[in-house]
């Protein structure tokens, strides 16, 4: 039989004071003499007294908790973001409670409803499949902020410009056949127009674009492996960029298994700039997601709602810089000639550069 939980009355009786004195000692709302306070906390430890969380929340009309509803946290990018939320919320004396639902719409609805039954003071919705209006309806009177898409103060991430920047970076380094592994998260936020941007980019340069260069990923290492396997079957692809770093790591895994050298034979660009990106060999060229700015923006919006202050309309447009490391090779004629001259003392024709590169890498 389970042991009966100690109550505040038990502690008060053991110390010889009133229950309200024990309550004030715990809360610190009223001055209690040091000897009495020491005896109270000694008995609390001895009796293993645990104040009722819900009783305290009812008394304060606040739980001090914020519900964070997320797709997943196995991805380092998601984990870094949630960790940032925890640190930012602590500045306002709040603690996060995380609920994971995957991309399942019904589970997302259920989690938002559950959090809004008095478990938390407010909610941060990170689910791409739940729109801001729907999240607010599901949470009722509980303040909720939908990350990035909150109206009237959304965060605008220009993925089309980012795609052009990545393609230009690779093109300027001699890459003419470029693969892409998609991220499903962007499909919910707005239609992923990356493929359209790629078609336009190659068309403007009189170059071909093959549908087989695009693979629908699942934000995992496994889908990065599958994506690389599928894209590289077409032959001739010299670079792959991915919707997140996890899938880029999957491309690395595929390359290792198949004896393909990065960046000599295959260049890779990721997205997120998670801590592992700088430590993998070779260090990954990737896009830095503006975690700190967006976390601060999201928490400030929620605190504004919690304090029942009106939101000031405006759009946030953070930069997403490309962090250049060692995972992209320069395949231009000048680069190949420089390598060849260094090894052989003479230049070669550009048409011979590709085979020369393999000889040099070997």
Q: Using one digit for the tens of pLDDT, what is the confidence trace for 111-136?
A: 999 999 888 999 999 999 999 999 99
pLDDT at 285: 97
pLDDT at 155 over 60: yes
Mean pLDDT in residue range 141-148:
94
Q: What is the pLDDT of residues 314-324, one digit of tens each?
A: 889 999 999 99
Check residue 9 and give its pLDDT.
Answer: 86
Distance of alpha carbon 264 from alpha carbon 255, whole angstroms: 11
Q: Which residues pair with 316 in a beta bridge?
A: 155
Residue with tokens 């920047």: 165
Q: pLDDT band at residue 2, thresholds of 50, 70 and 90?
A: low
Measured CA to CA, the distance from residue 328 to residue 331 in angstroms comes to 9
- What's 152's DSSP letter? S
Which range scores top for mean pLDDT: 28-42, 53-67, 267-281, 328-342? 267-281
Give the lowest-confidence range in 26-35, 134-143, 257-266, 300-309. Answer: 26-35
What lies within 8 Å, CB to CB, of 133 at 6+ separation is none
Q: Which of 232, 130, 126 is nearest to 181 (CA)?
A: 232
The answer on pLDDT for 345 being more than 80 is no
Lowest mean pLDDT among 126-135, 278-287, 306-315: 306-315
- Of 43 and 271, which is predicted with more confidence? 271
Average pLDDT over residues 199-209: 95
Is pLDDT above 80 for 329? yes
Q: Give the strand order in the sheet containing 322-323.
A: 214-216, 178-182, 239-242, 267-272, 285-288, 322-323
Give 92 or 119, the one with higher predicted confidence. Answer: 92
End-to-end Cα separation, the chain, in angstroms: 71
Looking at the chain, the whole-number percentage of residues with pLDDT higher than 70 is 86
């Amino acid at each position: 039989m389970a042991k009966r939980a100690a109550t505040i009355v038990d502690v008060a009786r053991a110390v010889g004071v009133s229950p309200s004195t024990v309550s004030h000692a715990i809360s610190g709302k009223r001055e209690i003499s040091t000897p009495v306070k020491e005896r109270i906390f000694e008995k609390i430890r001895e009796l293993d007294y645990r104040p009722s969380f819900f009783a305290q929340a009812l008394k304060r009309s606040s739980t001090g908790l914020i519900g964070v509803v997320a797709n997943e946290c196995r991805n380092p990018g998601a984990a870094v973001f949630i960790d940032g939320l925890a640190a930012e919320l602590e500045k306002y004396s709040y603690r996060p409670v995380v609920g994971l639902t995957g991309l399942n719409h019904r589970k997302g609805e259920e989690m938002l409803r559950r959090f809004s039954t008095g478990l938390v003071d407010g909610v941060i919705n990170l689910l791409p499949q739940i729109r801001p209006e729907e999240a607010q309806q599901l949470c009722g009177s509980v303040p909720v902020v939908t990350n990035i898409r909150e109206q009237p103060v959304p965060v605008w991430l220009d993925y089309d410009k980012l795609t052009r920047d990545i393609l230009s970076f690779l093109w300027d380094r001699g890459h003419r056949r470029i693969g892409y592994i998609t991220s499903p998260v962007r499909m919910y936020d707005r239609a992923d127009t990356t493929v359209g941007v790629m078609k336009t980019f190659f068309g403007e340069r009189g170059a071909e674009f093959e549908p087989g260069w695009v693979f629908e990923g699942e934000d995992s290492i496994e889908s990065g492996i599958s994506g690389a396997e599928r894209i590289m079957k077409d032959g001739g692809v010299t670079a792959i960029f991915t919707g997140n770093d996890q899938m880029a790591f999957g491309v690395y895994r595929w390359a290792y298994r198949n004896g393909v050298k990065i960046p000599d034979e295959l260049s890779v660009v990721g997205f997120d700039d998670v801590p592992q990106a700088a430590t993998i060999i070779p260090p990954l060229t990737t896009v830095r997601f503006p975690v700190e700015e967006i976390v601060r923006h999201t928490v400030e919006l929620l605190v504004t709602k919690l304090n029942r202050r009106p939101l000031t309309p405006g759009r946030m447009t953070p930069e997403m810089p490309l962090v250049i490391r060692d995972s992209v090779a320069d395949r231009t004629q000048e680069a190949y000639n420089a390598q060849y001259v260094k090894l052989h003392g003479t230049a070669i024709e550009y048409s011979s550069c590709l085979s020369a590169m393999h000889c040099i890498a070997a």
